[in-house]
Amino acid sequence: MKIALINENSQAAKNKEICAALKKVVEPMGHEVYNYGMYTADDAAQLTYVQEGILAAVLLNSKAVDYVITGCGTGEGAMLALNSFPGVICGHVEDPLDAYTFAQINNGNAIAIPFAKGYGWGGDLNLEYIFEKLFVEEGGQGYPRERAVPERRNKTILDGVRGVSFRKLPEILKELDQDLVKGALAGEKFQELFNANCQDDEIKSLVKEILG
């Protein structure tokens, strides 16, 4: 699985620590981590939580990655931004139980973590435990297990509702403020990572057009 890490400006200083915790947990599982930044609070490309949503949607819809780890101070803004786009189901995850139940019940493809809320001594351990429980098993198996059938049925219903509610991502990107979109894709390593992994020619072409 290809897992992207995205940090917005208010929590960019924690990027190195978050990335280290993520890699420590998921690389032994055989997953790959792609760090899309922000890398420091002083990065030239300053991402807002709204732009996290745009970037995550581009990465997931193009299949450049399979999963996105992101967040903001409270995690709420990032979650709302990501869930504003097709092809993205983002859960708000504050602790390992949130991570496990979201993965098993809702089987999404992104989480938003409150990187400022209660983040102090032991914050790195909490991150490791979150990532462990998020990826410890294949998602969508149900919790408790006897609820697996109705939970999968509800997820299928939700996917159907979202399929009707959303337009295709390229249509949305074209109608958004182009400076906003360009800023979301302006990270130092975005083009290098994205171009190497994108599997959707339409989105790849549109991104190239947006970035000039």
CB 146 within 8 A of CB 105: no
Tokens of 22: 């993520």
Average pLDDT taken over every residue of the chain:
97
The number of residues in the chain equals 212
Q: Which residues form the domain of 146?
A: 2-211
Give me the number of domains the chain comprises. Answer: 1
In tens, the pLDDT along 163-210 reads 999 999 999 999 999 999 999 999 999 999 999 999 999 999 999 999
Q: How far is CA 79 from CA 52, 59, 108, 122, 148, in A?
A: 9, 16, 12, 24, 25
Q: What is the CATH number of the domain that holds 162?
A: 3.40.1400.10
Give the pLDDT of residue 118.
Answer: 85
Provide the b/e sequence for 172-205 (b: ≥16 CB within 10 Å).
bbeeeeeeebbbbbbbeebeebbeebbebeebbe
For 5, 30, 79, 127, 171, the CA distances from 108, given in Å and listed in that order, are: 16, 20, 12, 18, 23
Tell me: the pLDDT tens digits for 111-162? 999 999 988 888 999 999 999 999 999 999 999 999 999 999 999 999 999 9
C-alpha dihedral (70, 72, 73, 78), degrees to nearest 10 = -110
